[in-house]
Amino acid sequence: MKNIFAIIGIFVFGVILSGFVFASPIEMNYEDGIYHFVLTGDKIKKQIHFVSSQNLITNKEAHVKAGSLLTINTGFFDPKNQKTISYIVNDSQTVEDPIFNDSLMTNPVLRRNMQKILNRSEFRVLDCDSKLKYEIAQHNANVDFLCSVVTSAQGGPQLLPTLRLEEEFFVVKDADGNIIRESASVLHKTARTLVGIKNLEKNAQEMHIFIVTNEHPMDIFEARDLCKKYGLDAAMAFDGGSSTSLNYKKIQVTSTQDSGDTGRALKSFMIVQPK
Percent residues over pLDDT 90 in the chain: 88
CA 87-88-90 angle, to 5 degrees, is: 150
What was the pLDDT predicted at 111?
Answer: 94
Please state, in angstroms and rounded to a whole number, the distance separating the CA atoms of residues 59 and 261.
Answer: 12
Taking only the tens place, the pLDDT of each residue in 68-101 is 999 999 999 999 999 999 999 999 999 999 999 9
Q: How far is CA 183 from CA 16, 113, 271, in A?
A: 51, 13, 26
- 121/137 Cα distance (integer angstroms): 5
Task: Please give the DSSP secondary-structure letter assigned to residue 67.
Answer: T
- Name the percent of the chain lying above pLDDT 70: 90
One-letter amino acid at 262 equals T
Q: How confident is the model at residue 259 (pLDDT cuts 50, 70, 90)?
A: low
Q: Where does the chain show beta strands of DSSP type E?
A: 26-31, 34-40, 48-57, 70-73, 77-78, 83-84, 88-90, 93-96, 121-128, 131-138, 147-154, 158-160, 171-173, 179-182, 192-199, 205-212, 234-237, 245-248, 251-254, 266-272
**Length of the chain in terms of residues written:** 275
Strands laid side by side in the 70-73 sheet: 48-57, 266-272, 70-73, 245-248, 251-254
Q: Are 46 and 232 in contact (CB under 8 A)?
A: no
pLDDT in tens, 182-202: 999 999 999 999 999 999 999
Q: Please tell me the predicted confidence (pLDDT) of residue 20.
A: 41
pTM score, whole prediction:
0.91
Which tens digit of pLDDT belongs to each residue from 24-63? 899 999 999 999 999 999 999 999 999 999 999 999 999 9
The answer on pLDDT for 119 being more than 60 is: yes
Rounded average pLDDT over 214-224: 98
Closest CA to 243 of 269, 205, 272: 269
pLDDT higher than threshold 50 for residue 11: no
Cβ distance 125 to 132 under 8 Å? yes
Residue 260 has what pLDDT?
67
Model confidence band, residue 112 (pLDDT cutoffs 50, 70, 90): very high
- Residue environment code for 34-62, b if the CB has 16+ CB neighbours within 10 A, otherwise e: bbbbebbeeebbebbbbbbbeebbbbbbb
| Confidence category of residue 14, pLDDT binned at 50, 70, 90 | very low
- What is the per-residue pLDDT for 256? 83
CA angle 43-87-138, nearest 5°? Answer: 80
Query: What pLDDT does 8 receive?
Result: 45
Sign of CA dihedral 39, 44, 45, 48: negative
pLDDT in tens, 167-184: 999 999 999 999 999 999
Ranges of each domain in the chain: 25-272
Give the pLDDT confidence of 120-166 residue by residue, as tens digits: 999 999 999 999 999 999 999 999 999 999 999 999 999 999 999 99
For residue 39, give Cα distances in angstroms to 82, 122, 188, 265.
30, 18, 29, 26
User: What backbone torsions phi and psi does residue 3 show, to the nearest 5 degrees?
Assistant: -65, -35
Q: How many CB atoms lie within 10 A of CB 230?
A: 14
CA–CA–CA angle 97, 131, 89 (5° rounding): 10
